[in-house]
């Protein structure tokens, strides 16, 4: 019989040693985040942009080509989060403050956040992964008044249940609209529900949409946790 180490599932459990709470996965996540924060701080915003310049050029070309091939049509996907112990108003107040100048708090929410900073003409510049592609795009139209495209989309939820709505076009520096976002928040008995919809060009592979739904789950979970921590 051949000795094949991949044929058997290997498990490792922590039996003794660390006195702090958490699993080995928790320890690894802590150290990964600490290392990432160090690299971000050392490189700075411009250093990150210089490092990722070739990736951004390739990623933006992918989005631009996808948008043009899709001829203005988009595919939607929605991530839904249930938060307890915090109201939507408290969370959105924290978000407003963070988006007004606390880039470190915005970056910390996801390992693939590279730049999140105000741009020209009130737009907000984001450099992050869209699927496997590192892209630099802008968000415009944030606010309580929905953009025209968001007025009758299938994903729009009742105002009575989700009164806090924000919509945005996602566009490249040349003005090409490469996506859209619609976020909706409504309070519950013990917290709030966040409905987070992203729209990608219809010609994008399915995994691009799937990974952004995962991206939403990670970043908004961490922003909600940070907002709750800021109250103490």
Give the domain CATH number at 162: 3.30.530.20
- Kindly state whether residue 40 falls inside one of the protein's structural domains: no
- Kindly state whether residue 64 falls inside one of the protein's structural domains: yes
191: containing domain: 52-230
Question: Which long-range CB contacts under 8 A does 62-67 form with residues at least 24 apart?
Answer: 62/133, 62/135, 63/130, 63/133, 63/135, 63/137, 63/172, 63/176, 63/178, 63/179, 63/201, 64/172, 64/174, 64/176, 64/178, 66/178, 66/200, 66/201, 66/203, 66/204, 67/176, 67/177, 67/178, 67/201
Whether the CA torsion 126, 100, 151, 175 is positive or negative: it is negative
- Kindly state whether residue 13 falls inside one of the protein's structural domains: no
- Kindly state whether residue 116 falls inside one of the protein's structural domains: yes
- Kindly state whether residue 119 falls inside one of the protein's structural domains: yes
Distance CA 231, CA 222 (A): 15
- Kindly state whether residue 148 falls inside one of the protein's structural domains: yes
Q: Tell me how many domains the chain contains.
A: 1
> How do residues 117-173 score in pLDDT, each as one tens digit?
998 778 899 999 999 999 999 998 644 444 788 888 999 999 999 999 999 999 999
The structure's pTM equals: 0.91
- Kindly state whether residue 17 falls inside one of the protein's structural domains: no
> How do residues 14-53 score in pLDDT, each as one tens digit?
999 999 999 999 999 999 999 999 999 999 999 999 999 9
- Kindly state whether residue 36 falls inside one of the protein's structural domains: no
């Amino acid at each position: 019989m051949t000795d094949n180490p991949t044929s058997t599932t290997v498990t490792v459990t922590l039996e003794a040693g660390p006195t702090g709470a958490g699993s080995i996965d928790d320890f690894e996540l802590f150290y990964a985040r600490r290392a990432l924060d160090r690299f971000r701080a050392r490189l700075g915003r411009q250093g990150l942009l210089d490092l990722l310049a070739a990736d951004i050029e390739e990623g933006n070309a992918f989005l631009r080509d996808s948008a043009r091939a899709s001829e203005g049509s988009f595919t939607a996907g929605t991530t839904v989060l249930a938060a307890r112990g915090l109201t939507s108003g408290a969370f959105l107040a924290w978000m407003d403050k963070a988006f007004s100048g606390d880039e470190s708090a915005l970056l910390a929410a996801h390992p693939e956040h590279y730049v999140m900073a105000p741009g020209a003409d009130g737009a907000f510049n984001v450099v992050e992964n869209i699927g496997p592609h590192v892209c630099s795009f802008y968000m415009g139209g944030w606010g309580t008044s929905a953009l025209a495209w968001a007025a009758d989309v299938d994903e729009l939820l009742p105002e009575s249940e989700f009164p806090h709505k924000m919509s945005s076009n996602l566009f490249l520096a040349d003005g090409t609209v490469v996506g859209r976002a619609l976020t909706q928040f409504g309070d519950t008995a013990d917290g709030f529900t966040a409905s987070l919809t992203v729209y990608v060009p219809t010609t994008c592979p399915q995994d691009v949409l799937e990974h952004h739904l995962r991206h939403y789950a990670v970043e908004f979970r961490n922003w909600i946790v940070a907002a709750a921590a800021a109250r103490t």
